[in-house]
Chains A and B, each alone.
Chain A
Amino acid sequence: MSAEPRLEATVSLRVNGEDRQVHVEARRSLADALRDALGLTGTHLGCEHGVCGSCTVLLDGGPVRSCLVLAVQAEGHDVVTVEGLGTPDDLHPVQHGCLEAHAFQCGFCTPGMLISAVALLAENDDPDDAEIREALGGNLCRCTGYESIVAGVRRGAELLRLDGEG
């Protein structure tokens, strides 16, 4: 970044393991850059002011709301979006768990839920329901499908532990 205040900038960041560059206005969020500049539309924008959690991504491994991070602030950092978790042929264990538990209704909130769950399981591979609810507390589902989401994360944790043993 230059020594003068800039209205726009070219930002280098690592997204799902690939080095990428985006040219953005300073006011644009990381979510805008992921969706509009990089075409990674799995990151959903619901409220755009940090309430709904649909835009949650991993930034250097920690869960963040990508609508509350400026794209310019992500310069040099590592981002993982829902596209980086698994592929349709090779789902992440948490995605498998949620599929098995029907942990989605309209699906809009699902990417943020998955990322928050992956962040939880990276720290605690055997969370109880209270810990799962706490970790997902910042993610809103307007279909109110929370029960199956908790079950999906619980099942995802089981699958992840089985993966670890295998």
Chain B
Amino acid sequence: MKSPPFAYLAPETLDDVVRGLAEAGEDAKVIAGGQSLLPVLALRLGRPSVLVDVARVPGLDTIDVVGDEVVLGARVTHATLERHPLVAAHAPLLAEVAPLIGHAAIRTRGTLGGSLAHADPAAELPAVAMLTDATIDVRGPDGTRSVPARDFFVGYLTTVLAPDEVVEAVRLPARGARVGDAFAEVSRRHGDFALVGAGARVGLDEDGRVAELRLAFLGAGSTPVLDVEAGAAAVGRAPDAAVLGEVGRAAAARLDPHDDLHASASYRRRVAGALAARVLATAARRAGAAS
């Protein structure tokens, strides 16, 4: 189907993007790659009056390392995450996850900022942003504010973004020494949205015991889920299979996934537990744990 009519604006600066959104009122939408938004319009599930395109704003497609942070512009594409040397060196989980997003033709256009702003709970990058403790810089009429990823997602396809705000950049701590991370998901076919997925980050102390442990899930609730209790249960313990399996199963039991025609909630919970144990083991091994 064709999209319903809308007006189009392509400002040259971020301030003009914000002004365009403010002038258009609540039914304006930002468009970047459009890989989530345009299907919504084609299926007529949305009917915005104005699309404000961020394509002409300079500087939104850059990747830099500033101090101990990797700073990614909102318009960085999934294809760039797959290939960029700074991502591979300092935020390798993004490079590992990017190929799981849609298909090649989607990744050419789809953007990091767009995926976060769209906030699909089954999407990979929102969960990874929470797992890696990313900060999302948001531009609005009063300037830029920084929102921790764990506070950014408030519900199904819903974020803390106001109608006149736009994602400007995503900052995440460069992965440190003795830290490993991993991600896995189960989908019916490769390229489909995952039924459920899990990401893990494990940091080890000098004695090889768990210093930090984080778990995040996708497809397991109305938002991506960061499990804050998993770390407390594991810190100070040896990262052996028994401990990591127990931590993963306990985290999965705390999930409240949904039923749909693709999978039941109990199936999703079981798969989440299996995936969590697997990614924790991989992350621990990558952090340097003896396997």
Contacts and interface: CB of A to CB of B under 8 A. Distances in A.
A59 B4 contact: no
Contact of B55 (A48, A50, A73, A119): A73
Contacts, number: 110
Interface stretch (A3-11, A99-107, A142-150, A154-162): A3-11
Interface residues of B, number: 38
Contacts of A69: 34, 38, 109
A73 B3 CA distance: 15
Nearest to B102: A138
Interface string B148-179: 00000000000000000000000000000000
A89 to B, nearest CB: 29
Contact of B190 (A9, A63, A67, A137): A137
Contact of B103 (A62, A67, A70, A138): A138
Contacts of B248: none
A48 B108 contact: no
Contact of B11 (A3, A49, A50): A3
Contact of A5 (B3, B20, B56): B20
A70 B105 contact: no
A78 interface: no
Given A26-B7, A137-B191, A70 B34 contact: yes
A73 B53 contact: yes
Interface in B6-55: 6-11, 16, 20, 24, 31, 34-35, 38-39, 41-43, 50-51, 53, 55
Given A73-B34, A73-B53, 5 more contacts: A6-B8, A6-B9, A7-B8, A67-B42, A72-B10
Interface of B: 1-11, 16, 20, 24, 31, 34-35, 38-39, 41-43, 50-51, 53, 55-56, 79, 102-106, 108-109, 189-191
Closest 7 CB pairs of A and B: A138-B103, A5-B7, A26-B8, A62-B108, A49-B42, A1-B10, A49-B39
